[in-house]
């Protein structure tokens, strides 16, 4: 049984230039303890998808136009703000890309980390502090007893991200949403943070929704991956399948454009053109105008109405556009 | 004699410590670096943040004066040149920065940005309108920008196009050495590949010498001929790119290699 079931989620932003369909009918499921990745370029709608689930989209200009997000059977999108607050930070945790901006610079780490415990679990300050010390210790902060009274600026970037992880997991949420948690970090620190998320996840049994644009990170941490383009999922597959037998032209194009998978000296593939302007509704296949035979196969017939996501092989879902899937 | 040589290049910063500022602590940001770079070569420089990569690049660019040692470009010791001579020589080495949103002047059109760079090499050209337009147009084509965009401002371009403008500006002074400091790490994967292809193509066509600084080893392995690994201000390993990648010798290289996420199929 999936603990989170998102069905046909649609979020748009009403701007002066028109209605931007940032998330255009996205569906996915998250099983308990599983890591689900959402990968795509900037502006593809990865973050908006996750923030919509927690109603963290500024409304207006944003608006959740439709869909359902069933979390253990109840629809998150239908909750009132008061009910939502009981879910946020308690049953669903969130960590952001930049720990420098998501921690309050005026408050000691101690008062920030015990806040969710006092609010959601009604613990006393001293009981909450004991839990906080244990949690910070578990994420590898050295000498916690004295460091807990420091301010965020006294920590390095990697340490701050550890604090964020401790804070997000202290209430033992069932789902952790990690939005580009390592993008701002150095490679060696990135490795430590990725390992930390993995071990804490195994210890606590948390499911993780991992948002990133880095295919290599995806391949290491995720069980299942959704590839997002222009507000839609174009492909979903278990991680090994996605890399060995990608089906959609966009997924293939992405993989052929990263240096890690190419021979030295070989030209990298570049996707021609630019991502579509989302202020105009996209009728057919969103990737069609940028799809070349090299990645999409000889068939140049792109879907003129929105291609459905179909299960081509067990657990391997692809947006079925003849021009992109080839044949 | 190599094209560019760094001889025992050292930069120490002193920091006052304590309230009464009596104690001085020395930080060895760059500590006795020896490196040789041949003409037309791409050297990848890698290391963790704080290892001294940026200080080293500033020393090479003559934006900082070394505490000891020297930068020798085509047999000339740059530190011995006069200030005005340095200004003239600076056309020979140009930088490309990480963030094209920050490194371009938002109030200058593509034309004025590029014309300014070209004028440093051809001072008579600003008087010749059509000649300058032609030169700017050629430069734009070289980096894959449409000539028609010449009157546009940086904000009207996408991130990848902006990085192309920044590259065109660097090429405008007809440099011999380009120092690229994390030129693709702020860009999306699909755009990253365009810029990497462009840099390689420019190297082949113009015989540019390039120092490519990055913390992403997979990018460096792809583009660089040789890799130099830096740690605590020292070069701990230099070698052929593939050799360093497959057979790292120093602890720092091994650690960096273990850290990069890998696609395992």
For residue B1, what are its two tokens? 């004699």
pLDDT of residue A31: 92
Q: Is the ipTM of this complex over 0.85?
A: no
For B188, the closest of A42, A190, A244 (CB atoms) is A42
Residues of A in contact with B197 (CB under 8 A): 267-268, 270
Query: Does residue B121 sit within a domain?
Result: no
Neighbours of A12 (CB within 10 A): 24
Residues of A in contact with B188 (CB under 8 A): 41-42, 213
Task: For helices A187-204 and B251-259, give the axis angle rounded to 10 degrees.
Answer: 50
For residue A24, which phi and psi values (nearest 5 degrees)? -120, 75
Query: Does residue B148 sit within a domain?
Result: no
Residue with tokens 């860009």, as numbered in its chain: B187
Best of A194, A268, A269, A276 to disrupt the B interface (most B CBs within 10 Å) is A268
Query: Does residue B255 sit within a domain?
Result: yes
pLDDT of residue B265: 64
Best of A260, A266, A267 to disrupt the B interface (most B CBs within 10 Å) is A260
Residue B28, domain CATH: 3.40.50.300
With an 8 Å Cβ cutoff, are A259 and B222 in contact? yes
Q: How far is CA A94 from CA A42, A56, A82, A158, A286, in A?
A: 19, 11, 18, 17, 30
Residues of B in contact with A42 (CB under 8 A): 188
Overall number of domains in chain B: 1
pTM of the predicted model as reported, rounded to 2 decimal places: 0.83
Report d(CA B134, CA A77) in Å as an integer: 58
Q: Which portions of chain B are predicted below pLDDT 70?
A: 1, 18-22, 264-265
For residue A179, which phi and psi values (nearest 5 degrees)? -100, 100
For residue B65, what are its two tokens? 């004066």
Q: Are A295 and A256 a contacting pair, CB within 8 Å? A: yes
Report d(CA B250, CA A115) in Å as an integer: 45
With an 8 Å Cβ cutoff, are B265 and A244 in contact? yes
pLDDT averages per 10-residue partition of chain A, 327 residues: 90 87 91 92 88 88 89 90 88 84 88 90 90 89 88 85 89 91 81 88 91 89 93 92 91 88 82 82 85 82 84 90 79
Pick from B130, B120, B132, B108: nearest CA to B174: B120
Query: Does residue B64 sit within a domain?
Result: yes
Contacts of B37 (CB under 8 A, 6+ apart): B2, B3, B4, B5, B43, B209, B211
Report d(CA A193, CA B29) in Å as an integer: 27
Q: How far is CA A91 from CA A85, A94, A132, A206, A222, in A?
A: 10, 10, 17, 10, 21
How does strand A18-31 pair with strand A2-15? Answer: antiparallel
Query: Does residue B165 sit within a domain?
Result: no
How does strand A92-95 pair with strand A175-179? Answer: parallel
Residues of B in contact with A264 (CB under 8 A): 221-222, 241-242
CA end-to-end distance (rounded Å), chain A = 35
Residues of B in contact with A267 (CB under 8 A): 197, 200
For residue B31, what are its two tokens? 């500590």
For A260, the closest of B194, B242, B263 (CB atoms) is B263
Q: Running DSSP on this structure, what letter comes out for residue B125? A: G
Pick from A26, A76, A70: nearest CA to A54: A76
Q: Are A208 and A201 a contacting pair, CB within 8 Å? A: yes
Query: Does residue B113 sit within a domain?
Result: no
What is the extent of the structural domain holding B232?
Answer: 4-104+177-259
Indicate the length of chain B as a whole number: 265
For residue A211, what are its two tokens? 């948002």
With an 8 Å Cβ cutoff, are A262 and B158 in contact? no
Report d(CA B4, CA A316) in Å as an integer: 53
Q: Which residues pair with A64 in a beta bridge?
A: A11
Q: How far is A255 from chain B (nearest CA, A)?
A: 9
Q: Which residues of B touch A (CB under 8 A)?
A: 48-49, 158, 188-190, 192-194, 196-197, 200, 215-219, 221-223, 241-242, 255-256, 258-265
Best of A157, A184, A270 to disrupt the B interface (most B CBs within 10 Å) is A270
Residues of B in contact with A271 (CB under 8 A): 190
Query: Does residue B55 sit within a domain?
Result: yes
Within a 13 Å sphere around the CA of A271, how many CA atoms are in the beta-carbon half?
28
Q: Give DSSP secondary structure letters for A161-214.
A: HHHHHHHHHTT--SEEEEESTTTTS-HHHHHHHHHHHHHHHHHHT-EEEEEES-
pLDDT of residue B19: 67
Report d(CA A145, CA A284) in Å as an integer: 58
Query: Does residue B154 sit within a domain?
Result: no
Residues of A in contact with B223 (CB under 8 A): 259
Report d(CA A66, CA A114) in Å as an integer: 35
């Amino acid at each position: 049984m999936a603990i989170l079931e998102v069905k046909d989620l649609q979020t748009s932003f009403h701007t002066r230039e028109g209605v931007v369909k940032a998330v255009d009918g996205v569906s996915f499921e998250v099983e308990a303890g599983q890591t689900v990745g959402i990968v795509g370029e900037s502006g593809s709608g990865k973050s908006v998808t996750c923030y919509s689930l927690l109603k963290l989209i500024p409304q207006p200009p944003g608006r959740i136009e439709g869909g359902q997000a069933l979390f253990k059977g109840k629809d998150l999108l239908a909750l009132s703000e008061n009910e939502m607050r009981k879910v946020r930070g308690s049953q669903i945790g969130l960590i952001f890309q930049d720990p420098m901006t998501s921690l309050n610079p005026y408050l000691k780490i101690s008062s920030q980390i015990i806040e969710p415990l006092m609010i959601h679990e009604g613990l006393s300050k001293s009981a909450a502090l004991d839990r906080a010390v244990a949690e910070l210790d578990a994420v590898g902060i050295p000498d916690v007893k004295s460091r807990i009274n420091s301010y965020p600026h006294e920590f390095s970037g990697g340490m701050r991200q550890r604090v964020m992880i401790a804070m997000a997991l202290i209430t033992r949420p069932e789902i952790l949403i990690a939005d580009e948690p390592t993008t701002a970090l150095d490679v060696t620190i990135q490795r430590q943070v990725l390992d930390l998320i993995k071990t804490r996840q195994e210890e606590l049994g948390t499911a993780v929704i991992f948002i990133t644009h880095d295919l290599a990170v995806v391949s290491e941490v995720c069980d299942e991956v959704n590839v997002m383009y222009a507000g839609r999922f174009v492909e979903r597959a278990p991680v090994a399948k996605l890399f060995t037998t990608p089906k959609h032209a966009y997924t293939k194009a992405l993989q052929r454009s990263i240096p890690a998978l190419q021979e030295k000296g070989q030209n990298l593939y570049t996707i021609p053109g630019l991502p579509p302007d989302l202020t105009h509704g996209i009728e057919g296949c969103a990737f069609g105008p940028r799809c070349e035979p090299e990645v999409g196969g000889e068939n140049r017939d792109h879907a003129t109405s929105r291609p459905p996501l179909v299960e081509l092989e067990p657990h391997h879902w692809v947006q079925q556009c003849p021009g992109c899937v080839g044949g | 004699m190599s094209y560019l040589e760094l001889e025992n290049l050292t930069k120490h910063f002193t920091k006052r410590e304590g309230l009464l500022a009596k104690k001085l602590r020395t930080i060895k940001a760059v500590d006795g670096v020896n490196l040789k770079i041949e003409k037309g070569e791409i050297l990848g420089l890698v290391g963790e943040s704080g290892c001294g990569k940026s200080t080293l690049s500033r020393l090479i660019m003559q934006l900082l004066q070394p505490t000891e040692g020297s930068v020798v470009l085509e047999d000339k010791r740059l530190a011995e040149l006069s200030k005005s001579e340095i200004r003239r020589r600076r056309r020979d080495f140009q930088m490309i920065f990480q963030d094209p949103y920050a490194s371009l002047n938002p109030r200058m059109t593509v034309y004025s940005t590029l014309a300014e760079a070209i004028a440093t090499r051809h001072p008579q050209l600003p008087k010749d309108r059509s000649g300058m337009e032609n030169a700017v147009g050629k430069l734009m084509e070289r980096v894959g920008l449409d000539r028609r965009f010449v009157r546009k401002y940086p904000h009207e371009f996408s991130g990848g196009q902006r990085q192309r403008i920044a590259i065109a500006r660097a090429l405008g002074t007809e440099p011999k050495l380009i120092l690229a400091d994390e030129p693709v790490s702020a860009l999306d994967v699909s755009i990253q590949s365009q810029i990497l292809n462009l840099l390689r193509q420019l190297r082949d066509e113009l015989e540019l010498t390039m120092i490519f600084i990055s913390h992403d080893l997979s990018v460096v392995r792809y583009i660089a001929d040789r890799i130099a690994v830096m740690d605590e201000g020292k070069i701990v390993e230099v070698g052929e790119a593939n050799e360093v990648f497959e057979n790292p010798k120093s602890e720092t290289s091994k650690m960096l290699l273990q850290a990069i996420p890998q696609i395992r199929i």
